[in-house]
Structure 1
């Protein structure tokens, strides 16, 4: 496969925006459905069901937006640092709505924002590797200024999504769209941070690493 062609800033921002909208449309739609039930139903049981749906969906939408703000957003000015404790909070909130459990074994540090954004994007990739659920462990080696991230996704029949390994190594995916842009964005973050990415499957787990490109 050919190497990944450089995306224009306009195309990249449009695709990332589409990805974020795709992620939050489901809980927002569920809130709308719940409100319609409240407007139309006289049954107390149905109204209570609708309120439960609205509460749950609002929490999901909030968690997804907070995660997206840190993983894809500007997160401060150029050169800004982000508290890894904040990253843990938004990652934990996001994963509460997913099938897998998050095991965060990274100590709290201030870290350059692109490293943190990359780490959150790697969690999204790891989550895709265990579609039936399991456990995602997040670890870090080295100093906050030059870290290595190790993520392991373990579960029932883990897999590397089609084309993911090639994309993370810098090859052009078959299609560049809102679905494929997230691993592309992770690759661009890694390059900007002077890091290289790797993903491999070993029996019952998938291992993702990001290390300084020396």
Structure 2
């Protein structure tokens, strides 16, 4: 494995590509629904189009709000983020998927990089169960430790996620598909947290804790 060296502009561009990838599908569905409304006179078809537009708008909004906290500045340097806000955007993010979300832990104001890391770990865990299932999030030790579990059919640690979080790839490069776990590793480093992965049968467990 080779350490990845990435210019700031390239990191920004790849993250933008990732966000655009996440929202282009629901936005495209909204456009399709509007085109149906323009041309269709049948009441039942128009109702289906309205339903499609409403669902897709909710999905696009949820994905953008999640990205704002997970990838965005989320306030000035040194700002804190409410874990209640993180829970809210995470629930909205998975609401249109075949996935449930459990969340335990006191509502806390934590340094923003810790909360950004938690949301990025939820994204990685969600990718561990491509057929859906259950995500379980624990905020422990006053926010000093996170445990995220993903349970579902054919659960697996997302390919190369541990290496990407460690800042390494086979050829020392990273693309838009892999930028999210790589970015999560950068956030973990900034937050002073170590991350580990484990799998047992159909459960993938991701644990993050403050360094001693």
Q: 1:118 deviation in Å?
A: 0.5
Partner SS, residue 75 of structure 2: coil
Alignment-derived partner of residue 151 in structure 1 = 148
Distance in 1 between the 2:100 and 2:29 partners? 24
Alignment-derived partner of residue 95 in structure 2 = 96
Alignment-derived partner of residue 166 in structure 1 = 163
Alignment-derived partner of residue 200 in structure 1 = 198
CA-to-partner distance for each residue in 1:143-168, whole Å, 9 max, x for gaps?
33xx1111110111101122112222
Find the partner of 1:191 among 185, 189, 192. Answer: 189
Distance in 1 between the 2:204 and 2:150 partners? 5
Alignment-derived partner of residue 40 in structure 2 = 41
Residues 170, 176 of structure 1: CA spacing in aligned structure 2 closer, same or farther, 3 A cutoff? closer
Q: Where does structure 1 lack aligned partners over 5 or more consecutive residues?
A: none
Which deviates the most, 170-179 or 127-136?
170-179
Residues 157, 12 of structure 1: CA spacing in aligned structure 2 closer, same or farther, 3 A cutoff? same
Distance in 1 between the 2:114 and 2:149 partners? 18
- State the TM-score, normalized to the length of structure 2: 0.96
Alignment-derived partner of residue 140 in structure 1 = 139
- State the TM-score, normalized to the length of structure 1: 0.95
Distance in 2 between the 1:213 and 1:142 partners? 13
CA-to-partner distance for each residue in 1:69-101, whole Å, 9 max, x for gaps?
111111000000011111111111001022211
- Residue 99 of structure 2 corresponds to residue 120 of structure 1: no
Q: 1:25 deviation in Å?
A: 0.2
Structure 2 contact 165–186 (Cα < 8 Å) conserved: no
Structure 2 contact 151–204 (Cα < 8 Å) conserved: yes
| Segments of 4+ moved more than 4 angstroms | none
Distance in 1 between the 2:141 and 2:120 partners? 19
Structure 1 contact 152–208 (Cα < 8 Å) conserved: yes
Structure 1 contact 169–197 (Cα < 8 Å) conserved: no
Alignment-derived partner of residue 2 in structure 1 = 2
Q: 1:12 deviation in Å?
A: 0.8
Q: 1:173 deviation in Å?
A: 5.1
Q: Where does structure 2 lack aligned partners over 5 or more consecutive residues?
A: none
Instruction: Count the aligned residue pairs.
Output: 211
Alignment-derived partner of residue 211 in structure 2 = 213
Q: 1:123 deviation in Å?
A: 0.4
Distance in 2 between the 1:75 and 1:6 partners? 25
Q: 1:8 deviation in Å?
A: 1.6
C-alpha RMSD over aligned residues: 1.2
